[in-house]
Amino acid sequence: MLFRQLFDPESSTYTYLLADEETKEAVLIDPVREQADRDLLLIQELGLKLVYILETHVHADHVTGAGQLRDHTHARTVVSAKAGAACADLKVHEGDTVAFGRHRLDVLETPGHTDGCQTYVTDDRRMAFTGDALLIRGCGRTDFQQGDARKLFHSVRNKIFALPDDTLIYPGHDYKGRVVSTVAEEKKFNPRLGDGRTEEEFVELMASLKLATPKKIHEAVPANMLCGRSPSEWAPIEQSPSGVREVSPEWVEQTYRTAAYQLIDVREPHELLSELGAIPGVTNHPLAQVLDKASDWDKTAPIVLVCRSGGRSGTAAIDLEKMGFAKVASMRGGMLAWRGDRIFSGK
């Protein structure tokens, strides 16, 4: 199995790339937004196909690169079902697996730092990616984001420390230049969670810590609940040569099932019954009716407009912007792109 450990110096975050060297399918764990270009270049250089982007939890110290990487690679994002991040493509629980080529990662729920913390373990039990639950000679803090010292104590002792002693521990961060540990080392030497520490001692220790608030928490947590987008950055907008704000049909395909936007088809009703069909759940308002209908719409709510090729939806997007709608985009290429550029089952 191909393995790379990458580092973001600003947040001291480790990002991990794993891939099947035969099939070239790859997963990326805990990417950082500012390092997305680096990660994309490495994936390209190694000839890999990114199939999953995994988060160990909703981070407070950096903004994830998951959304940006998904836009470029069409990989699926993976987050704990208990994290509350509705943007994720796959919400996993204890015992679920994430497969890439001939390999897989098993999910262990390890809450305590946050409710949605999880550890990913390779199927051969050789490697565990512990996020902030267990650090090298330390652990994640428990004083915000549903932090609970008792939960964290049991997560580490009953799940991570239950792995084989020679399992390699790859944490979410390190601030002293250390890159890897083992279960046996942490059992023996971890001053917070090692075998010599009782639960009550750990709870008292964590309560006594006087740690500064993470600098990026007010930006990072809301953005990470949206897979790395700020609340105002509701979609990966691109501007066409004619000035139309557009989103890709690939992004719409990835998001329409759980969309936080209104999807409006501005074609005539009979066109939705043509061979191009319609996106499931779309609302139909022909272009000639859009401006009249829009007088009753919330101007702060996101809207994606669709037509046959992008012309009418682009016109509607510009008209709605002139009316004061702040979050409007046309689907680039319309239903021709939806049907022609990708195989879509229509489910």
Contact in structure between 248 and 323 (CB atoms under 8 Å):
no
- 294-345, pLDDT tens digit by residue? 999 988 889 999 999 999 999 999 999 999 988 899 999 999 999 874 434 3
Q: What is the rounded distance in angstroms from the CA atom of residue 228 to the CA atom of residue 258?
A: 17
**Secondary structure of 139-153 as H, E, C letters:** CCCCCCCCCCHHHHH
CA distances from 105 to 58, 73, 136 (A): 19, 20, 21
Domain with CATH 3.40.250.10 in the chain: 238-340
Secondary structure of residue 250 in the 3-state scheme: helix
- 144-156, pLDDT tens digit by residue? 889 999 999 999 9
- Kindly state which CATH superfamily the domain 238-340 is placed in: Rhodanese-like domain (3.40.250.10)
Token pair recorded at residue 42: 């490495």
Please say if the pLDDT value at position 46 is more than 60: yes
pLDDT at 107: 98
Domain with CATH 3.60.15.10 in the chain: 2-224
pLDDT at 346: 40
The average pLDDT across 210-216 equals 88
pLDDT at 213: 87
The 10 Å CB-count burial string (b at 16+, else e) for 301-335 is: ebbbbbbbebebbbbbbbbbbeeebebbbbbbbbb
- With a CB cutoff of 8 Å and minimum separation 6, the contacts of 8 are 15, 32, 34, 35, 62
What CATH number does domain 2-224 carry, 3.40.50.2000, 3.30.70.860, 3.60.15.10, 3.40.50.2020? 3.60.15.10
Contact in structure between 7 and 38 (CB atoms under 8 Å):
no
